[in-house]
Structure 1
Amino acid sequence: MEQELELSAVIGFQGINFTRKCINSPVGKVISGLLLHPDNEHIIYPLGTTIVVRHIISRSQQFLRGHDNDISVISVSNTGKYLASGQKTHMGFQADIIIWDFDSLQMIQRLKLHKVLIQSLAFSHNEKYLASLGGQDDNTLVIWDIATGKALCGNPVGTNTANQITFFNNSDSRLLTIHNYGLRLWNADLVNKKIQYQDVNMGSIKRIFTCCTIDPSDQLAFLGTRTGDIVEISLDRALFKRIGPVKRLFSQGINCVNLLSNGDLLVGAGDGSIAKIGFKDMLVKSEAKVMGSVTSVSLTADSTHFFAGTSKATIYWCDTDKINPELRNTCHYERINSIAFPYEYSELFATCSLNDIRVWNMKTRQELLRIEVPGLECFCVHFMNDGKSILSGWNDGKVRAFLPQSGKLFYAINDAHNHGVTALAPTNNCQRVVSGGMEGEVRIWRIGKQTQVMEASLKEHRGRVADIKINRADTQAVSASYDGSCIIWDLKTHTRIMCLFESTMFKQVVYHPDESQLLTTGSDRKITYWDCFDGQAIRMLDGSDTGEVNALAITKQGEHFVSGGEDKKIKLWDYDEGISYYQGLGHSGNITRIAISPDQRFIVSVGAEGAIFIWHTPDRIQNSMADRDMPQRN
């Protein structure tokens, strides 16, 4: 049986999920997925299958792990005693809801009834009941007893897809659901297990409703719309009352709306606007812009400050008076293509994504440096062994080297490859760089202080070069290609030493530390051991049952290696036995690359969702030595 890898830390916010908040909406982020706990000391957010509970001051992280698929919604009760989370799953299967005890961070109840997706969750004001809403394939409202975990009553919400459910503030039997084109008030008879509804009369107003909040007296409700305005309704009369703000629409719609203690409204919009709107006149009092669509606004208990989360994986801290956003957290918001540690230094690492390279502090998980080239995608990143530059390959065909402290461009190799630089490997003496391109060509560059000269162009591959590795003596390089070939090159004579063929698209290759064998993986889901002497396949392992294996990393001693891919699992293998002893679950997207820190204490995995997971290497693996079983001399 595989043991669970211990998750040490995560860098990321709002992993991608498939919640459809309203008609024709694209795949987006978890709406209202950033919560400030009522204790004002913790923030809570989902990342893939994991819920992250982070202390604001100490930045320590704890994790709630019980879902087997991406979390689609989370909610916290009024006092913060309970936390509820729902997930998405595959068509035809039931989607789980989990109720957690916040103090112990333990699971209290696992609820199963809805199918495919949990759309929305809401706690009653007295924390006795939980209301849940299924996605468009389920479209059912259910009220649960938290103590027993039993469903008390439920009802289909109709053919009009519902987007959110919320309890009234002073009643545990009255609820409001907002739909694509309408609103519905519900009155639950929990004793007789019946529930009735009343549609709100909106007159001629037609809107797609995306979010809602109810005032403390339960007299009024304020609703955000896809159009970018706010609709106010009377809950007593179930009637439309007014619409605002005056002469203003927020482009790309309103994603979240909150009520301040003085009655004013705080909204987050799809165009990155955070605005405070006066209750009396419905005029915008103050406004600010942030990076990305605002998906979450979570107020402190006194309503003087709030956290705002965006679709571009950023978290801001703001005051409600002037709304001056202060950036608190960042991460990639698109696929991460590569990860690299400096030579024999484990305190920081670099990742590259859509249009930037970021350098991270391992202990604080804070971003230290960001290098941006707008409009271009970075495919690969490496630190030169002398620590003087960060090497990177881009989709415009250029190799760019940057200074590691300032991030300024050091030098660039123009036209390194015609259709993009997909793989890079600097030699250990920092005098040459081997690059691979989309067209399948491998080139060797001599790097000088002023000039970068192409030493050789090796044209053997017929597909994208996915990975390149160089041996310790700088005499050989191995390149893996999508065309199913893996070639070992002589770096002195610029000739092919050996070619390995397999009916797969190779994704990554690594040398065993003694350089007698190679490990490869690819689209056939296999992990293959190759003999470097005769080029024969020695062993073939099933790396995954369901998806391609994209990433490999091997320990310094060569006794263990790590793999990951489209099954979203990290697997830690014994090299000699070929058995996976540990696995880590957490990613919501395909795992693209894995790296082991030089001190062997941590495994870092990156994925297509833009998240970075830092796993603790098991003590047994850290302590293993290659010569442990060798006879000892007296």
Structure 2
Amino acid sequence: MKFAYKFSNLLGTVYHKGDIIFSSDGTTVICPVGNRITIYDLKNNKSSTLPVESRFNYNAIDLSPNGYILIAINEAGEAHVISMLSKMIIHKYRFKRPVKCIKFSPNGKYFAVCKENNVFIFDAPGLQTGNYNPFEMKRIYHDAIDDTRTLCWSFDSKILAVGSNDNTTRLYSMEKWANFKHCSLGSHSDMIIGCFFEKKSYDISTISKNGHLRIWECSIEPEDLVLYEPSKKREKKSNDSDSEDDVDLDRAIEKTEKQKHQQEKKNTKQSDEKINETNSKNDVKKFYYKLLAKHYLSDEVKKSDHNAILTAASYHSETRILVAGFSNGSFFLYELPEVNMIHSLSISQQAISSIALNSSGDWIALGCEQMGQLLVWEWQSETYAMKQQGHSNNMNCLAYSPDGQYIVTGGDDGKVKLWNTLTGFCTVTFTEHTSAVSHVLFSHNRKFIVSASLDGTARAYDLTRYRNFKTFTSPRPVQFSCLALDSSDEFLAAGGQDFFDIYLWSMKLGTLLEIMSGHEGPVSSLSFNPNPASTALASVSWDKTLKLWNAIENGSSHETIKLSSDGLCVVHKPNGEEVAVSTLDGQITFFDCKTSLQTGSIEGRNDLGSGRSDTDLITAKKNLEGKAFTTLCYSADGTCILAGGHSKNVCIYNVKESVLVKKFEITQNRSFDAVDDFINRRKLTEFGNMALIEEREEREGGNITLKLPGVKKGDMASRNIKPEVRVYSLEFSPTGQAWAAATTEGLLIYSLDVGLVFDPFELELGITPETIIKTLHDRDYSKALMMSLKLNENDLIRRVIENIPHNDVELTIINMPLIYIERLLKFIGVELEKTRHIHFYLIWVELIFTRHGDKINSALHMTTLLTLQKSMQQKYDDISKICDFNQYTINFIKKSAKLKAKNMNVSSDAIISINGDCSYATIEEMEIG
């Protein structure tokens, strides 16, 4: 089994906080998600997360006009220059203080940064400037009294407007102009939220936090700016004679020239003054601003909410549309300069944190920090181009679909969400639960999902009609902490947290079949035997016992196995012969299901690792004694086990050897608690730890960082929560190509990137790309294909397969040994996801199963078969939509032809001839190469 898993995507967390921006083509949204950056492709309906990770959460980002460079700055003021071509960080720069805003100039030559009360202007790296030093400072301005927070460049990149918390907007120029002076625009009574230049003009609009909009008119046009040129001084005349005999004469001449020069200087100064006075009167216009209008945008909002304040604004200069978002979740569209309201909508009850308009002005991106919500609204048609929201609180559990195409998650917010692993988007959300969801499961037939909650119910959801079709309850209210579904999808078991019983229901009838008692503590985990021939159930509890049940045959009779500590999780091996149990003392113990004997154990506490919280009074080493694995998952072949818990580390162990194979660090985000092993010395003073001091901010009513004793997930009475890093749930993909982790940061997907790793198979001397291509040209297809499989280069295997004529596929397969057939089938399963030669690859699949189907052991090759099923299901879903649409279109044309023929009294066959049969191009008509 390979372990070259790398981070591939982040699901479950759609938006955290910070700036939202559109790409230059207007079809892609880029937004920060914690300490990572996610790109939402609205055209292809896909999301991807950059393989870039910061030490703190990102809060300010901007993209260069050509789309090649992204600059992202985190909360600690560390800037990352990211190449959008290679998806890598190419430079780092530390501002050492928080940065509020960053903006590239329209010509791409500069970018400006707001830090405290300063504005820094840097030369941007790239071809526009011919400079590749990313942070070469060009200008710095210190005029602001309070922190600067927003920026806007003029269309020609000559003037920069900066809004600050001191209620003023200041204007700076990049060059020295004869008729321009740095000026400030006041008239506001609250901090500036946005300032926006007009198109092809220096007219500007400013908007403040209390909803006051000011429209300013500039006294000059852009072409009226005059470059400053100081008057040139006349150079002294020098005498070339250096003769010693003419020294006295030289002195006399020098004295005379000096007197002449002084007189000429005086005359020149007078003439310059006259010229400047004349130019100022005739040609050069003075630069100043005139206040044209005052508008109060918050008046409409305060009719329904008197406490609403403006939190975000954005302006599109082409269409002259202003979008203003407020703290009550509503946003308004205005047309400037008349400020006519053309649209309004309320999207939530929480404040809108960030707003962005795309290049055409049709789409509006809105981000809500508290809800974790990201919307793209098309205001002209009043439809959502994208509407995504993650779990507003912790994500507790996850489960893969049997084909690995979907992941279902449950969270503390009581919601059950279904995520598509290919697109990264949430497809459906179920909100029937009224309390935290503790466990979710996918049925083995992929038709429904089941969830358990602390509200005392277990619910089943239909994935065809997306509805809650069954609700399971107990005779008395019980908080369900875990679920298990048998291999036939007929029996559902749930364990209680406050009452220590296990409840067994029939999925078809919905009736309670059995209440199994025996545990003396909360039931923490359940697992049915995956073997179809068995209905055995394993359960662990805080009473330090593992119990093996067979309630369907023997009722409540069970076998009890004593554990070394409180049981936290139990899972069955894929073949059903073994169970693995994690306990509170950090151990993973393995038991044989038939003999109930212990077959092995892993001491994993030291591998788990532990950080030290800011408020901890003990060291990280001492804190490690209270850590344990809370979630386990076997790999598809059962040789390895994945384990995670109260830590940022996820471990993969070899079951047979009981050794650590690989450790993954899921995050480096210092915005979370307990990531570092040591407390920063800067926080330790003679009076104690600064982290124990309450912080209060404006308009928040007390921003408290302290947590109540014993609270780990976050105190609901606290205004500010700094959660600890945890792994709540883990699961391998059934295809074996990826694994997912539900963490404090969201749903992390780690997958195998086999294309970047040279991993040959039974490689022999003389097997090179050149020899493979020569063998292919000689039409020795079986040998060429086996040689390419040995070299294990995807591009080469693809080239060989697609150059084999479809008539020779069967003969090629017959001449290949079974060991190469397995690797070929695995390659086709992965390739079928992205190829357009669907029919051609399906011919290979059909002939492989026809000739070698009896030799393929489904137990050993389950991951390959599931990968193939996942790819074929994806292609079926995509093509079926197109076929259905075409069918409806053809039916519409036929109906229209009949109506037209009826009106004209002509046979419909004379107008249109459609027999209803669909003819498709065969593989012979396709050019494969």
What TM-score bracket applies, with the shorter chain setting the length? 0.7 to 0.9
1:178/1:562 CA distance change after superposition, 3 Å: farther
Return the alpha-carbon distance in structure 2 between the equivalents of residues 211 and 3 of structure 1: 49
Equivalent residue, structure 2, for 1:245: 297
1:238/1:402 CA distance change after superposition, 3 Å: same
Asked whether 1:555 is paired with 2:635, we answer yes
User: Which AA in structure 2 matches 1:98?
Assistant: H
1:247/1:546 CA distance change after superposition, 3 Å: same
Cα distance, 1:149 vs structure 2: 3.2
User: Which AA in structure 1 matches 2:441?
Assistant: H
CA contact (8 A) 1:49 1:67 kept: yes
Where structure 2 has 5 or more consecutive residues not aligned to the other structure, the ranges are 126-132, 219-286, 303-307, 612-626, 670-724, 760-821, 827-856, 862-929
Encode CA deviations 1:215-266: one digit per residue, 9 max, x unaligned: 34343133252x4554556787589762322732363533232234242312
Equivalent residue, structure 1, for 2:506: 447
Asked whether 1:114 is paired with 2:96, we answer yes
> Counterparts in 2 of 1:27-426, with a 5 A limit?
29-30=17-18, 32-33=19-20, 35-59=21-45, 61=48, 63-89=50-76, 95-115=77-97, 117-134=98-115, 141-147=119-125, 148-150=133-135, 152=137, 160-171=146-157, 174-179=160-165, 181-185=166-170, 187=172, 200-202=185-187, 205-216=188-199, 217-225=201-209, 227-232=210-215, 242-245=294-297, 247-249=299-301, 251=308, 253-291=310-348, 293-311=351-369, 312-320=371-379, 322=380, 324-334=382-392, 335-342=394-401, 344-353=402-411, 354-373=413-432, 375-387=434-446, 389-415=448-474, 418=477, 420-426=479-485
Equivalent residue, structure 2, for 1:92: none
Cα distance, 1:393 vs structure 2: 1.0
Return the alpha-carbon distance in structure 1 between the equivalents of residues 537 and 363 of structure 2: 55
Return the alpha-carbon distance in structure 2 between the equivalents of residues 379 and 587 of structure 1: 27
CA contact (8 A) 1:44 1:53 kept: yes
1:130/1:379 CA distance change after superposition, 3 Å: same
Cα distance, 1:348 vs structure 2: 2.5
Encode CA deviations 1:119-177: one digit per residue, 9 max, x unaligned: 3222233333333345xxx7765444433234626577878454434445444674414
Where structure 1 has 5 or more consecutive residues not aligned to the other structure, the ranges are 17-28, 90-94, 629-634
CA contact (8 A) 1:393 1:400 kept: yes
CA contact (8 A) 2:367 2:374 kept: yes
Cα distance, 1:365 vs structure 2: 3.6
Encode CA deviations 1:541-578: one digit per residue, 9 max, x unaligned: 23432356554322022223334456555554444353
Percent of aligned pairs sharing the same letter: 13
For residue 125 of structure 1, give the secondary structure of its aligned residue in structure 2: coil
Return the alpha-carbon distance in structure 1 between the equivalents of residues 733 and 514 of structure 2: 32
Cα distance, 1:596 vs structure 2: 1.5
1:215/1:508 CA distance change after superposition, 3 Å: farther
For residue 330 of structure 1, give the secondary structure of its aligned residue in structure 2: strand
Equivalent residue, structure 2, for 1:594: 730
For residue 345 of structure 1, give the secondary structure of its aligned residue in structure 2: coil
1:105/1:600 CA distance change after superposition, 3 Å: closer
Encode CA deviations 1:575-626: one digit per residue, 9 max, x unaligned: 43532436364697644222222121221233345x4333213658x99999
Equivalent residue, structure 1, for 2:664: 583
Cα distance, 1:540 vs structure 2: 1.0
Which structure dedicates a bigger proportion of its chain to helix?
A: 2
User: Which AA in structure 2 matches 1:214?
Assistant: F
For residue 300 of structure 2, give the secondary structure of its aligned residue in structure 1: coil
1:617/1:262 CA distance change after superposition, 3 Å: closer
Return the alpha-carbon distance in structure 2 between the equivalents of residues 141 and 565 of structure 1: 44
CA contact (8 A) 1:484 1:501 kept: no
For residue 56 of structure 2, give the secondary structure of its aligned residue in structure 1: coil
Larger Rg: 1 or 2? 2
Cα distance, 1:394 vs structure 2: 1.8
For residue 108 of structure 2, give the secondary structure of its aligned residue in structure 1: coil
1:190/1:284 CA distance change after superposition, 3 Å: closer
CA contact (8 A) 1:384 1:391 kept: yes
1:495/1:248 CA distance change after superposition, 3 Å: same
Return the alpha-carbon distance in structure 2 between the equivalents of residues 472 and 494 of structure 1: 20
Return the alpha-carbon distance in structure 2 between the equivalents of residues 530 and 509 of structure 1: 10
Return the alpha-carbon distance in structure 2 between the equivalents of residues 417 and 127 of structure 1: 67
Return the alpha-carbon distance in structure 2 between the equivalents of residues 190 and 479 of structure 1: 74
User: Which AA in structure 2 matches 1:616?
Assistant: S
Equivalent residue, structure 2, for 1:509: 570
Return the alpha-carbon distance in structure 1 between the equivalents of residues 79 and 748 of structure 2: 24
Match of 1:614 among 749, 756, 763: 749
> Counterparts in 2 of 1:521-540, with a 5 A limit?
526=586, 528-531=588-591, 533-534=596-597, 538-540=601-603
1:577/1:186 CA distance change after superposition, 3 Å: farther
User: Which AA in structure 2 matches 1:592?
Assistant: Y
Between 1:593-602 and 1:147-156, the stretch displaced more is 147-156
Return the alpha-carbon distance in structure 2 between the equivalents of residues 97 and 378 of structure 1: 38
Cα distance, 1:374 vs structure 2: 6.2
CA contact (8 A) 1:233 1:242 kept: no
- Larger RCO: Structure 1 or Structure 2 (Cα < 8 Å, ≥ 6 residues apart)? 1
User: Which AA in structure 2 matches 1:111?
Assistant: Y
Return the alpha-carbon distance in structure 1 between the equivalents of residues 549 and 6 of structure 2: 41
User: Which AA in structure 2 matches 1:303?
Assistant: G
Asked whether 1:603 is paired with 2:603, we answer no
Return the alpha-carbon distance in structure 2 between the equivalents of residues 230 and 442 of structure 1: 63
Return the alpha-carbon distance in structure 1 between the equivalents of residues 465 and 668 of structure 2: 31
Encode CA deviations 1:450-476: one digit per residue, 9 max, x unaligned: 35225124353434x443222335554
Encode CA deviations 1:267-321: one digit per residue, 9 max, x unaligned: 233433332113233332222333565444333323244444445455544445x
1:285/1:472 CA distance change after superposition, 3 Å: closer
Encode CA deviations 1:185-211: one digit per residue, 9 max, x unaligned: 2648899xxxx9876433xx4324444
Q: How many residues align?
A: 586
For residue 376 of structure 1, give the secondary structure of its aligned residue in structure 2: coil
For residue 395 of structure 2, give the secondary structure of its aligned residue in structure 1: coil
User: Which AA in structure 1 matches 2:572?
Assistant: Y
For residue 248 of structure 1, give the secondary structure of its aligned residue in structure 2: helix
Between 1:350-359 and 1:6-15, the stretch displaced more is 6-15
Equivalent residue, structure 2, for 1:24: none
CA contact (8 A) 2:485 2:493 kept: yes
1:423/1:448 CA distance change after superposition, 3 Å: closer
Return the alpha-carbon distance in structure 2 between the equivalents of residues 239 and 12 of structure 1: 49
CA contact (8 A) 2:15 2:31 kept: no
For residue 114 of structure 1, give the secondary structure of its aligned residue in structure 2: coil
Return the alpha-carbon distance in structure 2 between the equivalents of residues 359 and 587 of structure 1: 27
Return the alpha-carbon distance in structure 2 between the equivalents of residues 604 and 188 of structure 1: 51
User: Which AA in structure 1 matches 2:729?
Assistant: R
1:166/1:261 CA distance change after superposition, 3 Å: closer
